[in-house]
Amino acid sequence: MKSQSIYFVISVFMCCTLATPIKEPKLLKTKNRFKPKFNPSSCTFSLGICNRTDAYPINAIQRLVKRKKNLQLFSKVSLIEPASDFPLPQVRNTIEPDNLCRTQTVTILPKVGYDLQSGEHRFIINIKDYVQTVVYETCVKPDEECIGADSFPFGFRTLCKQKNNIVRLVSLTSKGNIEYGKFMVPSTCICSYYRDINNELSAF
């Protein structure tokens, strides 16, 4: 009888042990806590800059940015203007040159981007009172000819090409830290030229 009781206790203990779920280590849960999920329809080109995401952690971000140590990051919010690498002096009676390529200006408030420094996708801080705006120009028709072949030396052709730039934006790491990241964004559209080898060969 005693041996049967011992067997029963061991059996109950084994069942309870097997039924108890294995807890995932806390480190694994928090490591990718703030890893973004993309919404492809809101992404710009193939650069990984997106206006929207499926789960933007706005409440967590609001709590984090209000911490005193994070407020200094927003003293100089990054802003990109089309083709404005440095301020140009204002000269009277000057004629503003026109771009040979047709362009359109785009303004976005990015929520997700690919950080070139860490190699991870990050949430970009864009909430009330802490707004980071990116302004850029795009080609209306990329690879469109901008100067006719008759106006250029033989064997050369022109086309409109999209240029990109790197900008620093305040972002949220996957571990929940707020810091600057480097993101590739469009900049402007320029008229470029190249040597058309196929055209040269067809002339012979």
Type of residue at 161: K
| pLDDT category of residue 42 using cuts at 50, 70 and 90 | low
- Tokens 């294995």 belong to 22
Strands 178-195 and 134-139: unpaired
CB 142 within 8 A of CB 160: yes
List the structure tokens of 189: 């559209």
Q: How many CB atoms within 10 Å of residue 133?
A: 14
Name, in order, each residue with C-beta under 8 angstroms of 199's C-beta and a sequence gap of 6 or more.
155, 157
* 191 or 8, higher pLDDT: 191
pTM: 0.65
3-state secondary structure of 59: helix
List the structure tokens of 157: 């052709």
User: Would you kindly state where each structural domain of the chain is located, as residue ranges?
Assistant: 33-84+99-202
Q: How far apart are CA 79 and CA 20, in angstroms?
A: 53
Q: How far apart are CA 174 and CA 123, in angstroms?
A: 8
189 conformational bin, left if phi > 0, alpha if psi -120 to 50, beta if neither:
beta
- Tokens 């990015």 belong to 110
CA angle 132, 86, 84 (to 5 degrees): 60
The pLDDT value recorded for residue 162 is: 92
CATH topology of domain 33-84+99-202: Cystine Knot Cytokines, subunit B (2.10.90)
Cα distances (Å, whole numbers) of residue 113 to 9, 11, 46, 117, 183 = 56, 54, 11, 12, 7
Q: How far apart are CA 106 and CA 3, in angstroms?
A: 80
* 162 or 204, higher pLDDT: 162
Taking only the tens place, the pLDDT of each residue in 87-106 is 333 444 444 556 789 999 99
Taking only the tens place, the pLDDT of each residue in 101-131 is 999 999 989 999 999 999 999 999 999 888 8
The pLDDT value recorded for residue 124 is: 94
